[in-house]
Amino acid sequence: MRSFKVGTSTCGVSAGADKVLERLLSLAAESDGAPVAVSETGCIGMCYREPLVEVVDGPERVLYAEMTPEAAERLYRGATRDELEAHVLIEGESGDRDGFLLEQHRIALVNCGHIDPADLDDYLAQDGYAGYRKAVTAMTPEEVVAEIELSGLRGRGGGGFPTGLKWKLSRASAADTKYIVCNADEGDPGAFMDRSLLEGDPHGVLEGMAIAGYAIGACEGHIYIRAEYPRAIRRLEAAIEQATARGLLGRGVFGGEIDFEVHIKQGAGAFVCGEETALIASMEGRRGMPRFRPPYPAERGLFDKPTNINNVETFANVPWIVRNGGAAFAALGTPKSKGTKVFALAGKVVRGGLVEVPMGMTINRLVLGIGGGVREGGRFKAVQLGGPSGGCIPASLGDTPIDYDQLTATGAIMGSGGLVVMDDSTCMVDVARYFLSFTQSESCGKCTFCRIGTKRMLEILEAICAGGGREGDIERLETLGRQISAASLCGLGQTAPNPVLTTIRYFRDEYEAHIRDKRCPAHVCPSLVSYSISEAACTGCGACIKVCPVDAITGRRKELHVLDAEACIRCGRCYTTCQFDAIIKD
C-alpha cells in the first residue's frame, strides 16, 4: 500500500503543510482505487525546505521537499519521481541531497519526523516503552540511577547539571509524595528544540519522565509547558490518554504495582518561569518569582514536596540510555560532555532547522558544514548560543568544540540549544541591545541589580545605537555587568549581562565605531545610517516621494529625485519602498 506522511509540526504548518495534508486526506477519502494511507509526522529538522512529504511505496521511499497541494496531488495521482525531480530530497537509504543529516547522530530526535506522533503503535514499533518496561521489571531504582550516572548525561535545559546526581539526590529525599516535573517552558527566543520534540515524539518524553518517576519514587509527573505551544499541548494530551488506556501510564503500569500519572500545566508567558523555583511558584498558582536556594527542589519543591525537575530533551535521552546502557551514551562526546546535543539552527544560515550532533563537533562543522554556511553570500561573523543568558562566539573561534566547559571558556554557554548565526549585516551592538531589552522586560523585579541595573545598561546601549554614545560607556557597561552578575538571585539576572560582555569582548571595535565615529558598520542602527539616491538607478517613479513622511525627497516624474540629507529623519521608508534599489544606505 502506498503511504504519504506529511510533516505537520509547527514549522511545517507555518510553511503550508496543513493545506498539503488536507488535499491528500480529501483525495484519499474520495478515491475508490487502491487504498492509500495518509498520516502525519513530526519535524525531521529540515525546516528550510518545508513542507515535506514522504512517500513510501513498497520498498521505495522518497522524501519530497517544498511541497504544494498541487504537487502532492500530482504525486497522489501517480506522477513519477522523475516528474517531481526538483522536489526530491532523500531517496531510499541514501543520505539526503543536502548532506544535512549525514553528520548528525540522533538519540533524542530519533523518532522525530519518522513516526506518527498521534499513533502509540508507531512508537511501540520503535522499541517504545521498552526502556520503561526494562527499568520497572528488570532493574531496581538504584540501578536506573546508576545507569544514568554512568551515561554522563547532563541537564539540557541550560545549566548542565549532572542528571544522575540530581536523581540520586531526589531519590534520597524521604517523603510520602514526590513529583517529577518536565520543564517545557522553552523561553529562549530563538529556540524550538523542546517544542519539536514534544510535537514529534511526545511518548519519548513521557517515557523518560516515567523512568525518572520509578527511579526516584514519584507517582506523579507534571509538564510545565508554554501556552504558546498549542500543537505540542494537543499532542501531549493525546499521548497521555493513549498511554494510560494501554496501561503504560497511570495506575498499576505493566499490570504491576507502580503508579505514574502525568498532568499538563500551561505556563502563562513569563521567561523567568523557566527557572526552577519560579516554575514551582507558577505551578502553585502564584507570581513566578524565583526564591533563594537551598533548599533545592530535590528537597523541597512543588507543594513543599521533593521534586525532580528536568528539561524536555534531558528526559528524551533517558529511554535510549536505559535500553542501550549508560556506557553506550558515554562513548559519544568529549570527556566531560557526553552524548549528543540538539540545536535549533537559525539566523543567517542557509539550512536552518533542527539538528542533533555528537558533543565535540566544532561550531564550524555545524554552521558551515551541516548548516551550509551563510545565506546570500554574506560573511560568517559569529554565532549566538544560549539566547539571553548566553553569548556570541566570533567566527575566529569557530574551532571550539561543542562541550559545556569549552563553550563556557569563550564567555558564552552551551545553553538549551538556540544557535543563531550572524553575518556582516548583523550589528553586534544591536544584538546586545536586543537581548538586554528582553531580559530587562522579563526581570521579575525582586533583585535591585537585576531590575534597575539591566535598565541602566539598556539605556546606555540604546543611547549608543541612537548615536548618543559617550566615551566611557563601554567601561560603564562592563562594570554594571559584573555587578548585576554578582548581585542577582537567579540565573536570569546572573547571566543577563553575558550577551553584552561577550560582544564587547570580541567586537569592541563595533562599539567604538558607534560611540566615536557615530557609524554602524553593519548599517543596522537607524540613526547611524544615511540615505542617498543613486543617479544611475533612479527612474524617477516618485514612489519614495509618496512615502517620505517629512517630504525630504523632491523631483519631477521621470527625472532624477533628490534626497535632502538635512531634512531626512532616517526612517528608511524610501529604502524599503524603492523597487529599483536606487536608495543607497550608508
By CB under 6 A, name the binding residues for ligand SF4. Answer: 272, 290, 443-447, 450-451, 488-490, 492-493
Question: Binding partner of residue 269 among ligand SF4, other proteins, ligand FMN, none, CB under 5 to 8 Å per kind?
Answer: other proteins
Is the preceding omega at residue 295 within 30 degrees of 0, hence cis?
Answer: yes
Question: Binding partner of residue 431 among ligand FMN, ligand SF4, other proteins, none, CB under 5 to 8 Å per kind?
Answer: other proteins
Question: Binding partner of residue 493 among ligand SF4, ligand FMN, other proteins, none, CB under 5 to 8 Å per kind?
Answer: ligand SF4
What are the φ/ψ torsions at residue 483 (nearest 5 degrees)? -65, -40
* Closest C-alpha to 316, from 183, 176, 421, 437: 183
User: With respect to ligand SF4, which residue has the nearer C-beta, 256 or 445?
Assistant: 445
Q: Is 286 in the site for other proteins (CB under 8 A)?
A: yes
Q: Is 288 in the site for other proteins (CB under 8 A)?
A: yes
Round to whole Å and give the CA distance between 367 and 365.
Answer: 6
Q: Is 297 in the site for other proteins (CB under 8 A)?
A: no
Bridge pairing between strands 53-57 and 2-7: antiparallel
Burial degree of 315 (CB within 10 A; 0-12, 13-18, 19+): buried
Question: Binding partner of residue 183 among ligand FMN, ligand SF4, other proteins, none, CB under 5 to 8 Å per kind?
Answer: ligand FMN
Question: Binding partner of residue 447 among ligand SF4, ligand FMN, other proteins, none, CB under 5 to 8 Å per kind?
Answer: ligand SF4
Q: How far is the CB of 458 from ligand SF4 (least distance, A)?
A: 14
User: With respect to ligand SF4, which residue has the nearer C-beta, 290 or 469?
Assistant: 290
Helix locations, 93-178, DSSP H: 120-125, 130-138, 141-151, 163-172
Residues 19-48 that bind other proteins (CB under 8 A): 47-48
Cβ density class 454-469: b for 16+ within 10 Å, e for less: bebbbebbeebbebeb
User: With respect to ligand SF4, which residue has the nearer C-beta, 381 or 446?
Assistant: 446
User: With respect to ligand FMN, which residue has the nearer C-beta, 51 or 164?
Assistant: 164
Report which residue type is found at 379: R
Question: Binding partner of residue 228 among other proteins, ligand SF4, ligand FMN, none, CB under 5 to 8 Å per kind?
Answer: other proteins
The site string for other proteins over 60-99 (x = CB under 8 A, - otherwise) reads: ----------------------------------------
User: With respect to other proteins, which residue has the nearer C-beta, 178 or 348?
Assistant: 348
Interface with other proteins (CB under 8 A), residue from 6, 13, 248, 366: 13
The conformation of residue 108, written as its DSSP 8-state character, comes to T
Round to whole Å and give the CA distance between 401 and 374.
Answer: 19
Q: Is 426 in the site for other proteins (CB under 8 A)?
A: yes
The grid coordinates listed for 238 are 493525546
Q: Is 571 in the site for other proteins (CB under 8 A)?
A: yes
Round to whole Å and give the CA distance between 70 and 498.
Answer: 48
* Closest C-alpha to 318, from 142, 145, 114: 145
Round to whole Å and give the CA distance between 346 and 14.
Answer: 16
Helix (H) or strand (E) holding 547: helix 543-547
Question: Binding partner of residue 147 among ligand SF4, ligand FMN, other proteins, none, CB under 5 to 8 Å per kind?
Answer: none
Q: Is 374 in the site for other proteins (CB under 8 A)?
A: no
Q: How far is the CB of 155 from ligand FMN (least distance, A)?
A: 2
Burial degree of 548 (CB within 10 A; 0-12, 13-18, 19+): buried
User: With respect to other proteins, which residue has the nearer C-beta, 23 or 348?
Assistant: 348
Round to whole Å and give the CA distance between 92 and 113.
Answer: 15
User: With respect to ligand SF4, which residue has the nearer C-beta, 10 or 277?
Assistant: 277
Q: Is 227 in the site for other proteins (CB under 8 A)?
A: yes
Q: How far is the CB of 501 from ligand FMN (least distance, A)?
A: 17
Beta partners for residue 423, in sequence order: 380
The grid coordinates listed for 178 are 514526590
The grid coordinates listed for 6 are 506529511
The conformation of residue 296, written as its DSSP 8-state character, comes to P
Are the beta carbons of 432 and 387 closer than 8 angstroms?
no
Q: How far is the CB of 181 from ligand SF4 (least distance, A)?
A: 19
Round to whole Å and give the CA distance between 201 and 113.
Answer: 9
User: With respect to ligand FMN, which residue has the nearer C-beta, 7 or 390?
Assistant: 390
Interface with other proteins (CB under 8 A), residue from 3, 126, 266, 408: 266
Round to whole Å and give the CA distance between 148 and 135.
Answer: 12
Round to whole Å and give the CA distance between 82 and 85.
Answer: 5
The grid coordinates listed for 404 are 559545556
User: With respect to ligand FMN, which residue has the nearer C-beta, 362 or 439?
Assistant: 439
The grid coordinates listed for 18 are 496543513
Question: Binding partner of residue 159 among ligand SF4, ligand FMN, other proteins, none, CB under 5 to 8 Å per kind?
Answer: ligand FMN
Residues of this chain that bind ligand FMN (CB under 6 A):
155-159, 161, 183, 185-187, 272, 274-276, 309-311, 314, 416, 490-492
Beta strands in 84-225, from DSSP E residues, in sequence order: 88-91, 179-184, 220-225
Interface with other proteins (CB under 8 A), residue from 362, 384, 439, 502: 384
- Closest residue to ligand SF4, Cβ-based? 493
Cβ density class 423-438: b for 16+ within 10 Å, e for less: bebbbbbbbbbbbbbb
Q: How far is the CB of 269 from other proteins (least distance, A)?
A: 4
Interface with other proteins (CB under 8 A), residue from 348, 446, 514, 561: 348
Applying CB under 8 A, which residues contact other proteins?
A: 10-11, 13-15, 47-48, 50, 187-192, 195-196, 227-229, 265-266, 268-271, 282-288, 303, 344, 346-348, 352-353, 384, 387, 418, 420, 422, 426, 431, 434-435, 438, 444, 571-573, 576-577, 579
